[in-house]
Amino acid sequence: MSSSTKERLEPAVIAAAVVVVLGTIMAILDTTIVAVALRTLSIDFHAPVSTVQWVTTGYLLSLAVVIPVSGWAIHRIGAKTVYMTSLALFVIGSALCACAWSADSLIIFRVLQGFGGGMIMPVGQAIMARTAGPQKIGRVMGVIGIPQMLGPILGPVLGGLIVSNTSWRWIFIVNVPIGLIALWYSRTNLARSEQDRDHRFDGIGFALLSPGLALIVYGLSEVGVTGGFHGRSVWYSLISGTMLTALFAWRSLRAPEPLMDPASLQGPHVLRFVGWHFPYRGNPLRHHVLAPALLPD
């Protein structure tokens, strides 16, 4: 067998990659695409920027809360079911956001959208790792990493074009047809994975890690409101979140079935992964931190 044949990706791998890219690009775009519409939303809803800012803060917080549950959900329910459920929540949340009648309703619908979007990315990567196998996972992750890298950059650009030429509601409407296509493609092309009904949920770990991550995200997002790290809300949130996360890590070393296994975070591959992902995974929060400071009250 020639080397080109060995390196060729199977149709099942390509189909799974298409599904994951469709879902991932939507979830990542929505972390930054709304930032440029905050002033428009503030005017339309007759609400201050400090209130409208929760449209993005709520989305980011819901991402932080739901991501730690992804691993357990994959084992207990199956990757395909979790991924399709996440896509459905994201599409429903997007449609509701487009129909929002007030700032408060939009914030609530964004949180629902974030619950779906938070699982799309980690579950999608898990699907690709299982479908591609260890020999081809590097090539596949490189392909699906392109939209993950471009998403935070293209988000503000697309958001600006939409707000300038149409209604801000189209920021969310565009997700609906893409999400429906991803759902249909997932149903027909993703293979079902095994379920472990005996895999227990680490409730204590979840009660420590999810609020910890949410507090850290909230503290960093408040930097844009206070204009720096000098606000009390910033430091209270960052310190509390760090303490909860550290307590989770300490407990995970002793828990029989931790929410996140610390052993999986050991080795040089973790440093390479963080070094590759941080520059563009940090972009959504950077845009969110700066946006409120650049908008007039």
What's the half-sphere exposure (Cβ side, CA atoms, 13 Å) at 230? 3
Distance CA 47, CA 54 (A): 11
Distance CA 25, CA 14 (A): 16
Give the other-Cβ count within 10 Å of 253's Cβ: 10
Distance CA 48, CA 51 (A): 5
Interhelix angle 11-32/137-165, rounded to 10 degrees, is: 40
Q: Report pLDDT for 3.
A: 47
Q: Report pLDDT for 253.
A: 82
Residue bearing the bigger pLDDT, 150 or 20: 20
Q: Report pLDDT for 226.
A: 66
Confidence band of 261 (pLDDT split at 50, 70, 90): low
Distance CA 40, CA 162 (A): 11
Whether residue 115 contacts residue 94, with contact meaning beta carbons closer than 8 Å, is answered with: no
pLDDT tens, position by position, 43-90:
999 998 888 888 988 998 898 888 888 888 888 888 889 999 999 999
Tell me the average pLDDT across 260-264.
63
Residue bearing the bigger pLDDT, 194 or 234: 234
pLDDT at 138 over 50: yes
Radius of gyration from C-alpha coordinates of the chain: 20
Q: Report pLDDT for 283.
A: 46
Confidence band of 263 (pLDDT split at 50, 70, 90): low
Quick check: helix, strand or coil at residue 190?
A: coil
pLDDT tens, position by position, 101-119:
999 999 999 999 999 988 8
pLDDT tens, position by position, 172-217:
999 999 999 999 988 888 877 776 666 778 888 888 888 888 888 8
* Two structure tokens written together for 270: 């973790």
Q: What is the pTM of this model?
A: 0.81
Burial of 86 from C-beta contacts in 10 A (0-12 / 13-18 / 19+): buried
Percent of the chain with pLDDT over 90: 21
Alpha-helical regions (H) of the chain: 3-7, 11-32, 38-44, 49-52, 54-66, 70-77, 79-98, 103-132, 137-165, 170-173, 175-189, 203-221, 223-226, 232-252, 268-281, 283-294
188-224 burial: b if 16+ Cβ within 10 Å, else e: eebeebeeeeeeeebeebbebbbbbbbbbbbbbbbbb
pLDDT at 272 over 70: no
pLDDT tens, position by position, 3-22:
444 566 677 777 888 888 88
Phi, psi of 228 (to 5 degrees): 160, -170
Quick check: helix, strand or coil at residue 159?
A: helix
Q: Report pLDDT for 244.
A: 92
Evaluated on CA atoms 283, 274, 75, 66, the torsion sign reads: negative
